[in-house]
């Protein structure tokens, strides 16, 4: 029988834990943690992501701020603001919502973020620390996946984990984290040049789909009893919904789920854990800054 890795319920539980910790801090007269977000341009999905991060910040008792820049902001202007945020003692952590407009070099911007406030865990310093197994801010989506697997006591040691996708924010870090001591998976990373993809995914005890293609993973690609983590988020038009759209993932759930032992639903799986992991990183940054 397939069981749900319920991201929504787990995220609620973790939010409550964070909110309790924040209440204890403020009861002692301390200021709450502060998360800032930088957003450039008017991309609809980015606006939604930033709004959700702000909402979650307030739900756990953090304060938050959003720095909005127009689509034609220059890289220099953006870098100056990052410098400002790096030096503002009232900001514990901040994120720069990606993607940035084409004329801005994303890596230049990420590199300018102080590793100490890089709660998205995207700077080379934090990625390096993560790979070395040192204390770091782990990128939110892979961190959320690890939290789900741990909280549901999913057995990982010695399991073959196949990661579909090798992006810097999902595929590469989750492959690294699951191969490390503690999770002890044997990991295979697949990407757009991988040959005989289905042959490889069928060997997966744990299959992580982070490919960015709607319902790409079909039943013939999954092994009986596999643990299935669907990272994908795609909005597709749906007239039956009030919003006019619904969210689907990288997996064709109606045919794959029944083969699996555990699955993350979409929506309500990895997504809520991503936001909550950002909150956890912000609290961690706050606690470090108080020392
Ligand atoms: P991405 O940067 O577009 O990376 C996609 C990866 O999939 C790349 O490594 C690409 O290979 C690989 N790929 C593409 N087509 C393939 C194919 N036909 N066969 C094998 N591999 C293929 O995407 P991402 O940022 O990692 O995000 C992946 C998905 O997760 C998206 O749907 C995104 O919206 C979603 N997401 C969700 C959350 C969340 O909170 N739930 C957070 C982040 C992202 P190459 O490297 O060779 O190009």
Can you give the pLDDT at residue 206? 99
Distance from residue 213's CA to the centre of ligand 1 (Å): 7
pLDDT of residue 32: 98
Q: Which of 6, 97, 223, 284 is catalytic?
A: 97
Confirm or reject: Cβ of 233 under 6 Å from ligand 1.
yes
Compute the Cα dihedral for 133, 136, 139, 140 and give only its sign: positive
Q: Which numbered atom of ligand 1 lies nearest the CA of 211?
A: 7
- Whether 210 lines ligand 1, by a CB cut-off of 6 Å, is yes
> Residue of the nearest CA to atom 3 in ligand 1?
212
Ligand 1 atom, smallest distance to 171 CA: 26
Specify whether 53 is catalytic.
yes
Average pLDDT of span 28-56: 96
Ligand 1 centre and the CA of 52: distance in Å? 21
| Cβ of 281 less than 6 Å from ligand 1 | no
Closest protein CA for atom 4 of ligand 1: 167
Atom 34 of ligand 1 has which residue's CA nearest to it? 233
The reply to whether ligand 1 has any atom less than 6 angstroms from the CB of 195 is no
Domain 140-270 in CATH: superfamily? NAD(P)-binding Rossmann-like Domain (3.40.50.720)
The fraction of the chain above a pLDDT of 70, given in percent, is: 100
Angstrom distance (rounded) from CA 144 to CA 46: 19
* Ligand 1 pocket mutation pick from 167, 197, 229, 268 by most atoms within 8 angstroms of CB: 167
Q: CATH code for 28-114?
A: 3.40.50.10860
Q: Which of 113, 107, 110 is nearest to 88 (CA)?
A: 113
Q: Provide the pLDDT for residue 219.
A: 98
Write the DSSP string, 12-41. Answer: HHHHHHHHHHHHHHHHTTPPPPEEEEEEES
* 121-126-129 Cα angle (round to 5): 135
Q: Is 205 a catalytic residue?
A: no
pTM for the model stands at 0.97
The answer to whether residue 26 scores a pLDDT higher than 90 is yes
Residue 39 has pLDDT above 80, yes or no: yes
- Span 224-239, average pLDDT: 97
Every domain of the chain with CATH number 3.40.50.720 lies at 140-270
Within 10 angstroms of residue 124's Cβ, the number of other Cβ atoms is 12
pLDDT tens readout for residues 121-173? 999 999 999 999 999 999 999 999 999 999 999 999 999 999 999 999 999 99
Catalytic one of 6, 15, 53, 230: 53
Of the residues 6, 118, 120, 250, which is catalytic?
120
- Residue 255 to residue 219: CA distance in whole angstroms: 6
With a 6 A CB cut-off, is 249 part of the ligand 1 pocket?
Answer: no
Query: Tokens 């945020």 belong to which residue?
Result: 85
What integer is the mean pLDDT of 232-250?
Answer: 95
CA distance 214 to 182: 32
Q: By percentage, how much of the chain surpasses pLDDT 90?
A: 98
- The pLDDT assigned to 8 comes to 98
User: Which pLDDT score is estimated for 45?
Assistant: 87
pLDDT digits 0-9 by tens, 55-100:
999 999 999 999 999 999 999 999 999 999 999 999 999 999 999 9
Q: Pinpoint the residues of the chain covered by CATH 3.40.50.10860.
A: 28-114
């Amino acid at each position: 029988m397939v069981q749900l890795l319920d991201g929504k319920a787990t995220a609620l539980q973790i939010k409550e834990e964070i909110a309790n910790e924040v209440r204890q801090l403020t009861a002692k007269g301390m200021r709450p943690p502060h998360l800032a977000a930088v957003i450039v341009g008017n991309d609809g999905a980015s606006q939604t992501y930033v709004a959700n991060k702000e909402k979650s910040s307030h739900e756990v008792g953090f304060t938050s701020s959003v720095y909005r820049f127009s689509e034609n902001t220059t890289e220099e202007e953006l870098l100056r603001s990052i410098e400002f945020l790096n030096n503002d003692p009232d900001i514990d952590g901040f994120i720069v919502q990606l993607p940035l407009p084409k004329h801005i070099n994303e890596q230049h911007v990420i590199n300018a973020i102080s590793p100490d406030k890089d709660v998205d865990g995207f700077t080379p310093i934090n990625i390096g620390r993560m790979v070395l197994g040192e204390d770091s801010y782990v990128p939110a989506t892979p961190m959320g996946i690890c939290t789900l697997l741990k909280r549901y006591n999913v057995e990982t040691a010695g399991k073959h984990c196949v990661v579909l996708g090798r992006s810097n924010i999902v595929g590469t870090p989750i492959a690294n984290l699951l191969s490390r001591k503690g999770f002890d998976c044997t990991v295979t990373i697949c990407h757009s040049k991988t040959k005989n993809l289905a042959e490889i995914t069928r060997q997966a005890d744990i299959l992580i789909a982070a490919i960015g293609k709607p319902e790409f993973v079909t039943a013939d690609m999954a092994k009986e009893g596999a643990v299935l983590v669907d990272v994908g988020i795609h909005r597709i038009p749906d007239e039956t919904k009030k919003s006019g759209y619904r969210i689907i993932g990288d997996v064709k759930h109606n045919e794959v789920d029944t083969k699996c032992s555990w699955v993350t639903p979409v929506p309500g799986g990895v997504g809520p854990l991503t936001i909550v992991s950002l909150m956890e990183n912000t609290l961690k940054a706050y606690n470090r800054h108080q020392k």
